[in-house]
Every structure is written in structure tokens, then in C-alpha cells.
């Protein structure tokens, strides 16, 4: 009888823990959404700083820096690539100039999960695992850019096949009313609507956008502090084994999971940032995270592809070409690095090294974020514009 009562109590305890994890994960996702919404509102718009900066990227290396810097500010490669697609489609930006910007956007979008990993700065072991799990996305995208940017500049490695494919594809829709389905939108909308009602729309005064981003950041950090404790208790046994089996030995299942999840929620930041608490808790390894981030890279191209294919109804294929370049870039990264075990281990080992260094010097970790995503790109862009 006592055994049955204990089992019953254990069942209720597990159910409460599961509810707590779901509530904290919801708060975490709301925070990610709010931070992204605030940052986008501050940096985007028809005559925004982002658009002006992208239009000025007439040098390939500067274009790469612009892509990193703008996407780090907006925290969404989808927004950056959509701006680029619109500029190319309208003839304001040549495809050749746009390609490095798109590659930079792929690097800049990883800033969100790297910022999320800073939430564990007070816990050394968790911080090491969180940074490693977040930075593997940065490292992989940088490595792919190092390989493919020179090939693109020398031979049109991505733009030529993209232009050929764009010429063969038919126009879809009316060029205006095409939008991908986002299942997280209705779920995350109630607290965002309440916040807009109390404070105001982020698209309005700049201070409202700033507060929105700041509140989102607070939500993220509060959720992270509590989420790891709940995950440890709930998930370190059967669920951990289930995750390992789901990802599989080769990790190709992880690629598909990342691709589908990101295509649905239309944000690689949400997909990859959700993995950071799991990495911090020791539930997933860096090697298991890598294929999901690769899949997320591919999945995040869906929004721009749909919009550009709709826009091609007007007769131009430039926007579609650059959207296809983005897609081919991410597929190329998968095909170059992931099938070969020796190459696959390179970003994993670099990320693990960065995690160990970050655990030894937390200031170095913060410096990494500030310099790689903001300081160095911003300084180089400024120097180029001045001289």
C-alpha cells in the first residue's frame, strides 16, 4: 500500500516537474521572441540604418561584415536576407554584392544562442557546456564561409547555379500575399499582445523597442536559471536516452529535425537557442547539437525562398537568385563538412575548446560576443566608409 502511495506521489511530482519545464520553456521562447521583435523594430524599416548599410556594401569583405553586423543587431537572418532579396529584386543591389551579405547573415544569426549561453556565467561547468553548445553554430558557419566565399568570388560557385535554377522555376502567387505558416505565432502572441497593450507597439517610438528587447532578455535569463534545474531532475534518465536514440548515431536525423523545426517556426535562433539549456544540463552533447544547427541553417531559408518566388511574378528573378544562393550556401556547408567524420569533428572540437576557455575566463566569453558580432565588424565597416 505504501509502495502504491509512493508511486502515486512520484507520478504527481514528475507531472508537476513536466509542467514547470513547459512553463519555463514558454517563458524562454517568449523572451527570445520579444528580444528579436525589439531588435528588429530598432534596426529595420524602409529607410532604416540596416537597409542603408546593406546598400553600401560594395566590397565583398565589407559586405560580409555588414551581414554579420546587421544580423547581430536584428537577431534574425531571415529579416536580413529578406531585406537583401527586396533590394536585389528592385535593382538597388547587384547579386554579386548581395552574396557576401547573405553569408555574413548566416554568421550573425548565431549571436542569439551565444547570448543565451551567457545566462550560465555563474556556474562554471554549465557555462562551459552551454558555450560549447552555442558556439558550435558560430564556428560551423564561419568555416563554411571561409571555404565557399573565395569559390564564389572566383567562379560564381553559388550565384551561377542559383541563377540557372531561378530561370527554370515558375512564378508563384501574386508577389504580395504569400506567408509561411508559423505554429508558434498564435501560441506566443497572448503575452506579446498584453505587453503591446501596456507599453506600446515596438514599431513605434524607439524607446518602446528598446524596452521590449530588454524585457525579453530578462525573461530569457530568468527562464534559464530555473530551467536547467528542472531539466536535470526530469530528463537525465529515460528522456536523455530517448534524445540520443532520436538523433541517431550518424546525426542525419538531427539534420532533418533542425530543418523541419526551423522551417515551421521560421527562426533558426529559436531552434538553436532551445538546445543551449539542454547542453548546459548535460542532456545533449556538442556532437549531437551540430547536425541540428546545420538543419536549422537550411530550414531558415524557407521564408525568403517563398517570398522571392512570389516576387518573381513581377518578372524579375534577381531576388529569387539571391534566396537560392542562401539555400545552396547552407546545403553546400552540409555536404562539405558533415559526411566526412574528420571534417565533422573540426567545429565540434573548436567549440569545445572555446567552451573550456570561456569557463576559465568569463570576461573572455563576453569579449568574444562583443568583438566577433559587433566590435570587429562595426569597426571594419567604419574604417572602410571613412577611408
**pLDDT tens column, 319-333:** 788 889 999 999 999
Which of 159-163, 205-209, 346-350, 382-386 is the least confident region?
A: 205-209
Up-side HSE of residue 257: CA atoms within 13 Å toward CB?
Answer: 20
- In whole numbers, what is the pLDDT of the chain averaged over residues? 79
Other Cβ atoms closer than 10 A to 118:
22
User: For residue 139, is pLDDT > 60?
Assistant: yes
In the block, residue with C-alpha cell 547539437: 289
**pLDDT at position 174:** 42
**pLDDT at position 10:** 60
Cα–Cα–Cα angle for 51, 55, 135, nearest 5°? 70
Collapse the DSSP code of 249 into the 3-class scheme (helix H, G, I; strand E, B; otherwise coil) and give the result.
Answer: coil
Domain residue ranges of the chain, discontinuous segments joined by +: 2-386
Confidence class for position 141, pLDDT limits 50, 70, 90 = very high
**pLDDT at position 133:** 93
pLDDT tens profile 186-202: 787 888 888 887 887 77
Torsion of CA 15, 18, 20, 23, to 10 degrees: -120
Confidence class for position 83, pLDDT limits 50, 70, 90 = confident
| Alpha carbons 257 and 188: distance in angstroms, whole number | 21
Mean pLDDT of 378-386: 85
**pLDDT at position 144:** 96
Which of 32-36, 224-228, 260-264, 310-314 is the least confident region?
A: 310-314
Closest CA to 224 of 32, 17, 364, 37: 32
Closest CA to 75 of 121, 31, 17, 12: 31
Mean pLDDT of 126-134: 94
Backbone angles phi, psi at 341, to 5 degrees: -55, -40
User: For residue 118, is pLDDT > 70?
Assistant: yes
Q: Regarding predicted confidence, which is higher, 55 or 312?
A: 55
Mean pLDDT of 131-144: 95
CB 127 within 8 A of CB 121: yes
What sign for the dihedral angle of Cα 202, 206, 212, 216? Answer: positive
Mean pLDDT of 256-275: 81
**pLDDT at position 241:** 52
Q: What grid cell was written down for 204? A: 513605434
pTM above 0.75, yes or no: yes
Max avg pLDDT among 38-47, 246-255, 310-319, 362-371: 362-371
Amino acid at each position: 500500500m505504501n509502495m502504491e502511495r509512493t508511486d502515486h506521489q512520484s507520478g504527481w511530482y514528475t507531472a508537476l516537474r513536466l509542467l514547470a519545464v513547459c512553463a519555463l520553456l514558454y517563458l524562454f521562447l517568449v523572451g527570445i521572441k520579444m528580444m528579436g521583435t525589439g531588435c528588429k523594430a530598432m534596426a529595420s524599416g524602409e529607410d532604416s540604418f540596416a537597409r542603408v548599410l546593406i546598400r553600401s556594401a560594395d566590397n565583398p569583405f565589407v559586405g560580409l561584415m555588414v551581414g554579420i553586423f546587421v544580423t547581430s543587431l536584428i537577431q534574425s537572418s531571415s529579416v536580413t536576407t529578406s531585406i537583401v532579396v527586396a533590394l536585389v529584386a528592385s535593382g538597388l543591389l547587384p547579386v554579386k554584392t548581395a552574396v557576401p551579405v547573405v553569408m555574413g547573415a548566416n554568421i550573425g544569426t548565431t549571436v542569439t544562442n551565444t547570448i543565451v549561453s551567457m545566462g550560465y556565467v555563474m556556474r562554471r561547468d554549465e557555462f562551459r557546456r552551454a558555450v560549447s553548445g552555442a558556439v558550435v553554430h558560430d564556428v560551423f558557419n564561419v568555416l563554411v564561409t571561409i571555404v565557399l566565399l573565395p569559390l564564389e568570388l572566383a567562379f560564381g560557385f553559388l550565384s551561377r547555379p542559383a541563377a540557372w535554377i531561378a530561370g527554370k522555376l515558375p512564378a508563384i502567387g501574386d508577389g504580395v500575399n504569400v506567408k509561411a505558416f508559423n505554429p508558434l505565432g498564435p501560441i506566443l502572441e497572448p503575452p506579446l499582445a498584453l505587453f503591446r497593450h501596456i507599453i506600446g507597439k515596438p514599431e513605434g517610438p524607439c524607446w518602446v523597442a528598446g524596452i521590449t528587447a530588454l524585457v525579453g532578455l530578462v525573461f530569457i535569463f530568468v527562464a534559464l536559471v530555473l530551467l536547467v534545474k528542472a531539466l536535470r531532475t526530469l530528463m537525465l534518465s529515460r528522456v536523455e536516452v530517448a534524445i540520443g536514440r532520436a538523433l541517431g548515431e550518424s546525426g542525419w536525423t538531427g539534420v532533418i529535425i533542425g530543418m523541419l523545426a526551423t522551417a515551421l517556426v521560421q527562426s533558426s535562433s529559436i531552434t538553436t537557442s532551445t538546445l543551449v539549456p539542454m547542453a548546459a544540463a548535460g542532456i545533449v552533447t556538442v556532437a549531437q547539437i551540430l547536425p541540428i544547427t546545420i538543419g536549422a541553417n537550411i530550414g531558415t531559408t524557407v521564408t525568403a525562398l517563398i517570398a522571392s518566388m512570389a516576387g518573381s511574378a513581377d518578372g524579375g528573378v534577381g531576388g529569387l537568385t539571391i534566396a537560392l544562393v542562401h539555400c545552396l550556401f547552407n546545403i553546400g556547408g552540409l555536404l562539405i563538412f558533415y559526411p566526412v567524420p574528420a571534417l565533422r569533428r573540426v567545429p565540434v572540437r573548436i567549440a569545445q575548446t572555446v567552451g573550456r576557455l570561456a569557463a576559465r575566463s568569463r570576461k573572455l566569453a563576453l569579449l568574444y560576443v562583443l568583438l566577433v558580432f559587433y566590435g570587429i565588424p562595426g569597426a571594419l565597416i567604419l574604417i572602410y566608409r571613412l577611408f
